Structure 1
């Protein structure tokens, strides 16, 4: 009888341990918040769809196409509406790289003195902002329109250092720019995840009397049911922000109030994907609403809106 009671206590203790482990795992993967979002999104789908990007309707058109001719992995992605091309960066043998909308390498620009470049964002014709992830530093650079620029030196760039939550390789992973509102969004990867808003740097850096303002939205950031942030994209039509998470394999659309309204899963079987996206590093959107995605090891994806069921 005593051995039976002991066995019951052991089993009960094991059940408690398993339940606690499941609770921790669910919290780490934001499963409760994600389930709550999924239960609500369909209820308000008709109203939300009309005023949003509505990632639910996107399907993959180009899947896991290798980007040829690159020795190092690329990170981040931005759309240049003037050239109708994409730009990305590498942090090993640092380079700023121009890609066609089909994923072909068009141009390489050597980056000198940039440390650990992790993200790049188009600001205005020929003007870009590049991040140094480890140093939490922003660089505003300018390239020529005729392909003459072959190298950019950090010493020649306007710079802004942000000592926010310095913790090694968990720094600035993504950038997005609101040209109408003149806001630069900067994504801190994790520990904790944050989306910082900066005004006054992208537009006026390097000019006398520069005034830079930094703000964040902790309530919005708490509502992000993902494990990390890898990239950002601002849509000027809806004024919504896209946030990409590599670890959660998910893109979230946030409305102007910072609330999630739709998602695009990067798992196999969703949105037409045959295989899960291995390590998503950058997302960009062109002026037609087409989504471009890059993933290590240098894979290229294109998603377009469709009326078909995304699952």
Structure 2
């Protein structure tokens, strides 16, 4: 992730060209993309001031700069059906949801199991999101339902009966429903990803804090250039305002802006990001406050990725 620091205009220009040239390779050099690229070039060369331009924090995530950190591990006590993943900034831990049996797991950032929480009465849980305080939400895939609940450090069981929930009238193929969700804490908007038939991103406003609910579609996933065959997870980055869309079948993650324009991507097959093997079935994605990215994959694999660019900048600061 780009930090507030001064780097040479040439280095910055080179980085922007690398990130944006991928868009042109995909033959979608439309007017918006060209304007964006030209603007970045102008800023990077400092044409207006003649001085080196400081990089604004949170300009882009830069997925192509990420690599696997440590050996992927199997989550203890989980045989199959590892699904969604979220980060709790208060506890500095991760929470993963498992489908069948429906369970919430608290994990360290190295993927070590801290505790299990049984989800009683839940069905087909596929995505989980930390909403702040002690509040969480999960999505149930086949029922197309969002459920919200609170847990604390002593919670061992969550019973679905009586919890606030919302079922959305979206028709899709069998076992091709809601796969993940994420949250913009500043606006209070939730984003839910529908796997396929249709591939769809749903924006849900008002559910967390009020009863005045508005549902919209920010952009079409059926008409995008980055072409995920399906979508299995989503993460909102509050520093950039960008989304990371995770695709199991395409074995990739893609960073997009609020208009759905691709900013960067990272492949999750062997040979990419330092991976020695394919990520078998990526199901959930999240990011911590340091910019590390975490991916969970069926049956029970846990991956942690770090930004090469961020690590290089930290190292240079300490020199």
TM-score bracket relative to the smaller structure: 0.7 to 0.9
Please give the per-residue CA displacement for 1:115-153, whole angstroms capped at 9, x wherever unaligned: 111110011111011111000011001002x32x11111
Comparing 92-101 with 165-174, which one deviates more in the overlay?
165-174
Superposed, 1:284-299 pairs within 5 Å as: 284-299=286-301
| Contact 1:232–1:242 (CA under 8 A) maintained in structure 2 | yes
State yes or no: 1:188 paired with 2:197.
Answer: no
Quickly say closer, same or farther: Cα 1:291–1:45, change in 2 above 3 A: farther
1:62 aligned residue: 70
Q: Label 1:160 to 1:76 Cα distance change in 2 as closer, same or farther (>3 A).
A: same
2-side partners of 1:262 and 1:38: how far apart?
A: 15
Distance (whole Å) between structure 1 residues aligned to residue 221 and residue 258 of structure 2: 10
Q: In the alignment, what sits opposite 1:233?
A: 235
Q: CA deviation at 1:220?
A: 5.4
Secondary structure in 1 matching 2:77: coil
- The alignment partner of 1:156 has SS state of coil
Corresponding residue for 1:151?
Answer: 157
The CA deviation at 1:44 is 3.9
Count the aligned residue pairs: 269
Find the counterpart in structure 2 of residue 23 from structure 1.
Answer: none
2:166 counterpart residue number: 160
Residues 72 and 93, structure 1, Cα contact 8 Å, conserved in 2: no
Give the Å deviation of 1:154.
1.1
Shift of the alpha carbon at 1:276? 1.3
Q: TM-score, normalised by structure 2?
A: 0.79
Aligned to 1:212: 213
CA distance in 2, matches of 1:198, 1:151: 27
For 1:155, what is the secondary structure of its paired residue? coil
Does residue 174 in structure 1 map to residue 180 in structure 2?
A: yes
| Aligned residue in 2 for 1:222 | 223
The answer to whether the 8 Å contact 1:80/1:122 transfers is yes
Name the larger-Rg structure: 1
Seen in structure 2, the aligned counterparts of structure 1 residues 44 and 196 have a Cα distance that, compared at 3 Å, is same
Q: Is the 8 A contact 2:72 2:304 kept in 1?
A: no
- Alignment check: 8 A CA contact 1:128 1:141 kept: yes
Aligned-CA RMSD value: 2.5
Query: C-alpha separation between the residues in 2 aligned to 1:55 and 1:164?
Result: 31
Structure 1, gaps ≥5 residues long: 1-31, 205-209
Q: Does the CA-based 8 Å contact 2:97-2:127 persist in structure 1?
A: yes
Alpha carbons 2:111, 2:302 under 8 Å: kept: yes
Equivalent-residue separation in structure 1 for 2:117 and 2:182 (angstroms): 21
- Cα deviation per residue 1:53-102 (whole Å; 9 max; x = unaligned)? 01111111134211122244210110110110111111111111111101
Alignment partner, residue 122 of structure 1: 130
Cα 1:142–1:57, aligned 2, differ >3 Å: closer, same or farther? same
| SS class of match (2:26) | helix
Question: What residue number does 1:249 align with?
Answer: 251
State how far apart, in whole Å, the 1-side matches of 2:205 and 2:132 are: 15
Show the 5 A alignment for 1:51-130: 51-130=59-138
SS at match of 1:131: strand
Given that residues 136 and 166 in structure 1 are in contact (C-alpha distance below 8 angstroms), is that contact kept between their aligned partners in structure 2? no
- The TM-score normalised by the length of structure 1 is 0.80
Q: Within 2, Cα distance between the matches of 1:283 and 1:247?
A: 15
Is the contact made by 1:114 and 1:132 (CA closer than 8 Å) also made in structure 2?
A: yes
Matched, 1:47 2:40: yes
Q: Specify whether residues 156 and 107 from structure 1 end up closer, same or farther in structure 2 by C-alpha distance, changes over 3 A only.
A: farther
Structure 1 position 300, deviation (Å)? 1.1
Distance (whole Å) between structure 2 residues aligned to residue 108 and residue 119 of structure 1: 16
